[in-house]
DNA sequence: GGCATAATCCATATTACGTCA
DNA sequence: GCTGACGTAATATGGATTATG
């Protein structure tokens, strides 16, 4: 399915060619490649979501768009057919559409370059990666965007698995077609994505496409990167929160211990006091004005100490005021 | 307007690959 | 060279939201 990408949908280099062309396969003004890229991505997305459920849905989706020439040929790229021999992957529409495209006048051998690139990549890579990851040696590499593609750490020259992707080794490596490929982003790409993430941790479609174009990645890769980045951020935040709660727990435990100790001391003190000084006095008081009954709990000593007639009268007045307030509030 | 369906985006869990000690 | 740990790209899945008929 993702071979649609090899048409240049998500590949910046062909975009430069094709944006200028008046697309015969696309009725929109956006341009063949951008639109096709979106379509490819949609197919990719839908395929990813639906392929395990019902491949027929992909067909129906494809047929409902403005790109009737694409949908049927994309079907072989379902995981079921991942083991399909790359030599069997014939896409007549690819050569027809590109080679015969009137707008594709990009210098001598340009169309052939694309075809060659596609052919190489068809052989060299899984179809799903298609032309999104173009060979640095491609004739059209001069149209490279700001961020060239480096596979498998080739940037630093630490590893060079490129030979694993050439036709000779790959041809005998058909059984590996089902193996998942993993692109290691370059430092520049990661840094750029990080900067973008700082500005906004979610992407709208335009931003996604722009980033993808600028970084020479597929929009889906940008999307996945942001998803994973959000997940990492959340994970780290969770760790920070966990640490904070852990410290809070420790603090509270310490405080609990301290208060338990204090309680024990108070109990010990209480047991050493005379009985009448120990118990708090709970008294029922009736308000003489509204005849409300309220409970007041004070220490016996405090009760006796403040039980002068004047104080009692003042307390009664205050109590009645409280009752009036309560009555107003509860109305 | 209410409903069903599809499409899209996102979060989350998981897998698998690349790197390094 | 082998191996395990780790980071992370990629995948799978389901929920929420929105658009469409």
pLDDT in the model for residue A213: 86
Mean pLDDT of the A47-64 span: 34
Strand A280-286 relative to strand A293-299, pairing? antiparallel
Which of the two residues, A31 and A177, has the higher pLDDT score? A177
CA dist A331 and A326 (Å) reads 9
Q: Residue A188: how many CB atoms within 10 A of its CB?
A: 14
pLDDT in tens, A277-314: 555 555 555 666 665 555 554 444 444 444 445 554 55
Distance A253 CA to B9 C1' (A): 44
Q: What is the pLDDT of residue A323?
A: 56
| Predicted confidence (pLDDT) per residue in A74-130, tens digit | 333 333 333 333 333 333 233 333 333 332 223 333 333 333 333 333 333 333 333
Q: What integer pLDDT is reported at residue A103 of this predicted model?
A: 29
Instruction: Answer whether any strand B atom is within 7 A of the Cβ of A261.
Output: no
| Ranges A34-38, A46-50, A208-212, A324-328, most confident | A208-212
pLDDT tier at A255, thresholds 50, 70, 90 = very high
Would you say residue A187 has pLDDT above 90?
no
Instruction: Give the pLDDT of residue A292.
Output: 59
The confidence band for A245, taking pLDDT boundaries of 50, 70 and 90, is: confident
Cβ of A153 < 7 Å from strand B?
yes
Cβ contact A140:A90 at 8 Å? no
Covered bases, chain B (protein CB within 7 Å): 6-14, 16-20
Higher pLDDT, A179 or A157: A179
Helices (H), A134-288: 167-171, 187-199, 205-215, 219-271
Residue (of A15, A21, A55, A53) closest to A34 by Cα position: A15
- Bases in strand C with any atom closer than 7 Å to a protein CB: 7-14
- A121, A133 contact by CB (below 8 A): yes
Closest Cα to residue A176, out of A162, A165, A163? Answer: A165
Lowest-confidence pick of A28-42, A99-113, A204-218, A251-265: A99-113
Strand B contacted by A56 CB (< 7 A): no
Q: Is the CB of A247 under 7 A from strand B?
A: no
């Amino acid at each position: 399915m993702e071979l649609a990408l090899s048409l240049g949908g998500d590949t910046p280099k062909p975009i430069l060619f094709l944006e200028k062309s008046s697309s015969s396969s696309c009725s929109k003004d956006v341009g063949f490649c951008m639109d096709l890229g979106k379509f490819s991505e949609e197919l990719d997305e839908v395929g990813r979501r639906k392929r395990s459920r019902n491949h027929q849905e992909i067909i129906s989706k494809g047929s409902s768009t403005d790109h009737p020439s694409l949908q049927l040929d994309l079907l072989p790229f379902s995981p079921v057919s991942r083991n399909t021999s790359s030599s069997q992957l014939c896409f007549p529409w690819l050569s027809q559409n590109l080679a015969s495209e009137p707008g594709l006048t990009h210098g001598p051998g340009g169309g052939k370059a694309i075809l060659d690139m596609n052919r190489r990549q068809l052989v060299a890579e899984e179809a799903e990666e298609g032309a999104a990851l173009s060979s640095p040696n491609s004739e059209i590499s001069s149209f490279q965007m700001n961020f060239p593609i480096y596979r498998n750490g080739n940037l630093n020259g630490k590893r060079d698995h490129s030979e694993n992707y050439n036709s000779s080794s790959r041809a005998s490596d058909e059984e590996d077609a089902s193996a998942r490929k993993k692109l290691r982003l370059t430092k520049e790409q990661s840094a750029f994505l990080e900067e973008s993430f700082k500005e906004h941790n979610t992407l709208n479609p335009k931003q996604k496409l722009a980033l993808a174009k600028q970084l020479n990645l597929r929009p889906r890769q940008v999307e996945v990167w942001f998803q994973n980045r959000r997940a990492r951020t959340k994970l780290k935040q969770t760790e920070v929160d966990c640490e904070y709660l852990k410290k809070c727990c420790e603090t509270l435990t310490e405080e609990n211990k301290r208060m338990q100790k204090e309680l024990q001391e108070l109990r010990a003190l209480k047991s050493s006091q005379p009985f009448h000084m120990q118990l708090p006095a709970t008294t029922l008081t009736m308000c003489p004005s509204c005849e409300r009954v309220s409970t007041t709990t004070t220490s016996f000593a405090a009760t006796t100490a403040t039980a002068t007639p004047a104080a009692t009268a003042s307390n009664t007045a205050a109590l009645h005021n409280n009752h009036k307030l309560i009555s107003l509030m509860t109305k």
